[in-house]
Amino acid sequence: MIDFTAARSDETADELWCCEHPPVFTLGQAGRAEHLLSDLGIPLVKSDRGGQITYHGPGQVVIYVLLDLSRRRLKVRELVGAIEQAVIDLLAAHGVLAERHAGAPGVYVGAAKVAALGLRVRRSHSYHGLSLNVDMDLSPFTAINPCGYPGLAVTQTRDLGISLTPSQAATALADHLAVQLECR
């Protein structure tokens, strides 16, 4: 992702990369190690994305958003809004009301976070992206202050009554994200 972004030219197509990660805690550029509350034996990796600490693991969809923001005439805040709206639209398509919380990027159902964002922009090219909790073991989140917020509850689509596999959720979310990006 970093190499792809560094090698981009004006002709390089924008891409969305969908994946799942093995269990890992990631600490963003501004991340503080004290947000890791206990050692579960899960690796902690420093990342050059924005944000604090989060957990990635099997059953969570990660989409890396590799865009030329200048070509799309898109500002970072608009990109964040498009990403959040794509998740909100995906959940709405399954009858779940989700929302943004002011000052806390991501998507929430009630007080529980279902999707996290962490981006980096270099020379007007974005990378990193979002994670959507689909059907995973949420217990590692108890070992951190998710996104730097003590006691922040997390949820997943399975617990919200959405019966998508991670692969199905990745495809559907990428489709919603493409719609959001094309209308901006």
* Active-site annotation, residues: 147
DSSP string, 31-86: --GGGB-S--S--EEE-SSSSSEEEE-TTEEEEEEEEEHHHHT--HHHHHHHHHHH
E strand or H helix at 127, and its extent?
Answer: strand 125-133
Q: Phi-psi category of 81—alpha, beta or left, where left has phi over 0 and alpha has psi -120 to 50? A: alpha
